[in-house]
Structure 1
Amino acid sequence: MYADWKRKFAFIFSGQIFSILTSSMVQFAIIWHLTETTGSASVLMIAALVGFMPQALLGPFIGVWLDRWNRKFTMIVADSVIAVSSLALGVYYLAGEPSLWVVYVVLFIRSAASAFHGPSFQAAIPLIAPEDQLTRVAGWHQLVFSASSVLGPALGIAVYSATSLGTLLLLDVAGALIANVMLIMVRIDQPKQEIQETPSFRREFVLGWKTLISDQSIVTITIAMAVFSVVFMPLAMLFPLMTLSHFGRGGYSASLIEAVFGIGMILGSMLLSVLASKWKDSTYISLSLGIIGITCMVSGMISSSAFWGFAALSFLMGAAAPLFNGPYMAMIQKAYEPEMLGRVLSLITSIGLLCSPIGLALAGPVVDRYGVQVWFFWSGIIVALVGLAMFIRLYGIPQPGEEKQALD
């Protein structure tokens, strides 16, 4: 089953690099184009909502379908839908400026397709890689994602400035096609369904929830992830405000902070790939939360003249992020049977996505009244305490996959 698994991932990640990178380029360029052409905060808010809500709302339910369908075929169809929507919008832009509702519809379709693609990809990984290599593979995936998050906005603006948004959208089509071709060349075996009775969406949905809560280690980390999403996710929007309001610097410095954070993510992903299996997955996650919490707290106390100190702290935050995401995903893939993984992953993804707007709603009034540093400081304390509590809670408890290793 796992013969030539490294070669398979070489094919898969080669294609995903193009797909994720071009999607990142398009996503940033569309938001920049709307900012440049409308200058309306309401337009940007609506664009963010239609690009976010489909994944959050569909997530709890699509897992049932993902576990029924062929995962490789689902990824190909999802990427194809994204490509067709990019093609349609690209043609619109090449012919002339489309109406805003057309842009909203395309963003909605792309988000809905991504809701199927992401969990399908993660649920397929344990069908390809051996269990003791899942953390390493998660590091590879984080590396691809991190590199795309750094290069995507920069390349997107470069291509957008040199050509047009329509040309960039057509480039996204090419990225999806390359990813699909590489995926077609890889064989992914489907997990065998043990229950052969008549499918029932409600029964399978409830079974997904019961399966998720059956592993207490995953439940503990998922609760930590939910708290983390509430307090940390708003910082993605507050970094530029921190640069502007506290340090008194402009757009160049704000983009520099984004780049430094992304470079930290790349190096953190590489470190995870090298050090995978040296410690327990939960230890990496606790360490990640501890580093992120401390760097956020210090950022909330730093003086307005210490911009380069803030840049160094941002680098450390970025480097710590893959130490949470990669091992967490590997733990999930080890904890549950492949035939249940689609449901579990879609539920966990939705929990994180639905917690993020709560944080955004809380952060706005707090920052307006008390300043951006207050959110950095207290969110850092909360994240660090969550990391410490999780380490104490899971210390000495066997992690997913360790029970099997003990029996072998």
Structure 2
Amino acid sequence: MPPDTQPTSLRTFLIIWSGQMASILGSEMTNFAITIWAWEQTGQATPLSLLFFFTYTPRIIAASFAGLIVDRGNRKQLMIAGDTVAGLSTIAILLLFLSNHLQIWHLYVTTAMNGLFGYLQNLAYSASMTMIVPKQHYTRATAMSSYVTYSGSYIIAPALAGVLYYTIGLTGVLAIDLMTFVMAISTILCVSIPQPTRKSTSIAHQTLWQQFTFGFRYLLKRPSLLAILIFWLSFNLVDTVSLALGPAMILARSSNDATVLATVRSAIGVGGIVGAIALSVWGGSQRRIHGLLLGTALTSLSKMIIGLGRVPLSWMIAGFGAGVFAPAIDSSNQAIWLSKVEPDVQGRVFASRYLIAQITSPLGLAIAGPLADYVFEPAMSSNGRLSSIFGGVFGIGAGAGMALQYTIFCFCGALIGLGGYAFPSLRDVETIVPDHDAEQGQGGRV
């Protein structure tokens, strides 16, 4: 990237970030309201886990071609397209609900569309970070975009949606969501997002097959970057189970009290804000791999306490702890990748990264609900085969089986985080792989 294209301030980033903050707030309100609506309709964990499944699976499919689109296309237009499709999906849900035709499968379709175009938007945004954020602010900006945004929404959205759902209904929540999409698109339209300069080995000189496989070949030439993805491949399998199971578990153990779920979600958000602000001020550890591995372990251990707890206060305290440690994970991970991968190929490399790292996520999301409904919940009922063993810890009855399942998978996540230190190629990635702006032909182009 030529020197004159180097960003010198966070102005453009902050404008975009403010719009995305509003959009995510609206989306999280809608997601919370839809979760309550789906639980009221079914009372089972499987439909809720399938909502996650249909959100994440299209993203993984899109990762096979999205990188090429982002590197060839206009990243600003892709970000606008992502917000536009999300707004249209909300309109579709609103119209179906108003006509009394909304069904669970409609939510699967709309979440799949949001997942697909939302991934394109996020990839375009992620690949644009080096063009709008100075290098010394990578960790800080990632913490803000990934955690101040989402954690802030986690604080406000559940509380607002929990109240508004029972006052203005799902219709009102969806209407608010639409207004936030307009705000997000407006902020993107009013800024300039530079396109990276293509080098002599740009995609214009490659065959179609070379373009599609570029990201994978790039990673194969850098085993330490591949080691990060193997780490994520393992962790995402167990983490997505707890992700999909959390809302149903808390609703079941709180007698379907949406206020309790909102409170726990808000506590996680408060923790995320505290952690993200601390990370934004601090800037992160010089060895970012510690933030990735230790953050994973500590977040998983905190989530274990949620599974072990039986009252809202314990869930809130543990959720706050999980939120505090979580920003270190993605912020450190993203800072490593932004430093190591050249800006003009980040779209393809980041898409391949996502595909490899997330390929086990649909499996975790698909098995979470059925395991809860047909294995763990019956096993922890009053006459269940596991109730005599674990009943003293998790209790017996509704939600106890999900709590046991949740705790087991969170414990596995903690082991994976700490186990990463046993592999030098992962532990020493920052010294093994040179920064892209210091690399002088090492590793070459693929």
TM-score (norm 2): 0.79
Q: C-alpha separation between the residues in 2 aligned to 1:397 and 1:46?
A: 37
Asked whether the 8 Å contact 1:94–1:167 carries over to 2, the reply is no
**Superposition map of 1:350-361 within 5 A:** 350-360=355-365
Comparing 349-358 and 322-331, the one that deviates more: 349-358
Q: C-alpha separation between the residues in 2 aligned to 1:403 and 1:202?
A: 25
Provide the residue aligned with 2:30 in structure 1.
26
Q: Which runs of 5+ in 2 are unaligned?
A: 380-385, 387-400, 441-446
Tell me whether 1:271 sits opposite 2:287 in the alignment.
no
Tell me whether 1:132 sits opposite 2:136 in the alignment.
yes
Tell me whether 1:379 sits opposite 2:383 in the alignment.
no
The alignment covers a number of residue pairs equal to 404
Q: 1:137 to 1:160 in 2, by over 3 A?
A: same
Comparing 10-19 and 258-267, the one that deviates more: 258-267
Provide the residue aligned with 2:321 in structure 1.
316
Provide the residue aligned with 1:68 in structure 2.
72
**Superposition map of 1:180-329 within 5 A:** 180-194=185-199, 195=202, 197=204, 200-239=207-246, 251=257, 253-295=260-302, 308=313, 311-329=316-334
Tell me whether 1:175 sits opposite 2:180 in the alignment.
yes
Q: Which amino acid in structure 1 is aligned with residue 28 of structure 2? A: S
Tell me whether 1:331 sits opposite 2:340 in the alignment.
no
RMSD: 3.3
Provide the residue aligned with 2:93 in structure 1.
89
Comparing 155-164 and 252-261, the one that deviates more: 252-261
Identity, in percent, stands at 25
Comparing 41-50 and 339-348, the one that deviates more: 41-50
Q: Deviations over 1:89-119 (max 9, x none)?
A: 3234334444555444333322221121111
Shift of residue 125 of structure 1? Answer: 0.7
Q: Deviations over 1:276-309 (max 9, x none)?
A: 1542211211221232354456677x6x678755
Q: 1:325 to 1:399 in 2, by over 3 A?
A: farther
Shift of residue 224 of structure 1? Answer: 1.4
Q: C-alpha separation between the residues in 2 aligned to 1:15 and 1:256?
A: 25
Shift of residue 395 of structure 1? Answer: 4.1
Shift of residue 160 of structure 1? Answer: 2.7
**Superposition map of 1:88-127 within 5 A:** 88-98=92-102, 102-127=106-131
Q: Match of 1:187, SS? A: coil
**Superposition map of 1:130-169 within 5 A:** 130-141=134-145, 142-169=147-174
Q: Match of 1:36, SS? A: helix
Question: Which residue of the other structure, out of 393, 418, 421, is the alignment partner of 1:388?
Answer: 421
Asked whether the 8 Å contact 2:48–2:244 carries over to 1, the reply is no
Asked whether the 8 Å contact 1:292–1:384 carries over to 2, the reply is no
Shift of residue 335 of structure 1? Answer: 1.4
Q: C-alpha separation between the residues in 2 aligned to 1:17 and 1:397?
A: 31
Shift of residue 198 of structure 1? Answer: 5.8
Shift of residue 22 of structure 1? Answer: 0.7
